[in-house]
Structure 1
Amino acid sequence: MAVELPAIRIRQALRGDLPALVSIFAADAVGGHGDTTDPVAFADYVRAFAAIEASPDQVLYVAERGGEVVGTFQTMVTTTLTGRGSSAMIIEAVQTRADMRGQGIGAGMIEFAIAEAKGRGIKRVALTSNAIRKDAHRFYERLGFKPSHLGFKMALK
């Protein structure tokens, strides 16, 4: 028996979406980003949201289904001298609410981001994924992404 799922709506995130977004990030045990729903930390998320909202090169999005936030992602556009001054869209912080995974929400969010990049004349979209998220890697490859670089990071104190 097939079940038709309601479509998702993707829109720019609003300040009022923060509790739902924080909840999605805090539920991610793999990411290791230290996200929490502790009210003491909420001001940190408000500050970050304000910085993203003020940036002309960043957009934070939410995916809604039935009026509820069920996913999120962020895009950033960078321009470098390499590639003859080319721009790239970086997709970050892609998360689907745990109880909504496997329903096409993640694919819808990524397809939306790619369409936004194409609409802006951007020729390359990039993203990173935690090395232990093998299911996510297969997901991105199914969407046409190719593993091409090895990433490094350093935590600063």
Structure 2
Amino acid sequence: MSGDVVVRAAVEQDDPERVFDVLWQLAPGDPRPDSSRLASAWRDLHAQAGRRLLLAVAGDTFVGTLDTLVAPNLTHGARPYMVVENVVVAPGWRRRGVARALVLAALDDATAAGCYKVQLVSNAARTDAHQFYASVGFTQSALGYRRYLTTAA
């Protein structure tokens, strides 16, 4: 990875609009939330127990994200597990080790939290992403299902 990129946890003082600019690369066809809704979600994210948004930062530019949630669990010796979402790297920064650095940081966090597994899902069409996840030690071990819900805006 370029030496000028660092991975760190997002803090409330970060600008959620600038973070969302990176996240929007994941689904650019989705409507952008208005500023007040985005600010509310940002506050909620930081208030949620076990939640941590990792940012890859080059200088003062956000170039990647990875969102984690460590969830309490009653099975597997009551050890928690981590769910990973929103792994996104800005287009000009892809294939430069940014995603790898984000994933390795998340794995370190999961180990420190005593998690027994780290789980993520990836769109079936994203075969490059699947190859990447395999390269950092993930295996395809389950069949996943989603049900998207429609809500009033």
Same fold (TM > 0.5): yes
What's the counterpart of residue 18 of structure 1?
Answer: 16
What amino acid sits opposite 1:18 in the alignment?
P
> Within 5 A, what are the aligned runs for 1:3-152?
5-15=2-12, 16-28=14-26, 31=27, 34-36=30-32, 41-152=34-145
Unaligned runs of 5+ in 2: none
CA gap 1:60/1:130 in 2 versus in 1, 3 angstroms: same
TM-superposed CA distance for 1:32, in Å, is 6.9
Structure 1 pair 111–7 and aligned structure 2 pair: CA distance change class (3 A) = farther
Task: Show CA shifts across 1:25-83 (max 9, x none).
Answer: 2233xx477252xxx62222211111110012111121112231110111101122232
Residue 148 of structure 1: SS of its match in structure 2?
A: coil
Percent of counterpart pairs with the same letter?
A: 27
Across the aligned residues of Structure 1 and Structure 2, the Cα RMSD in angstroms comes to: 2.0
- How far apart, CA to CA, are the structure 1 residues paired with 2:51 and 2:102? 16
The alignment partner of 1:27 has SS state of: helix
TM-score by length of 1: 0.85
Normalised by the size of structure 2, how large is the TM-score?
0.87
Bigger relative CO (Cα 8 Å, ≥ 6 apart): 2
Cα pair 2:2 2:97 within 8 Å, conserved: no
Q: Is the 8 A contact 1:22 1:35 kept in 2?
A: no
Aligned residues: 149
Q: Aligned partner of 1:61: which letter?
A: L
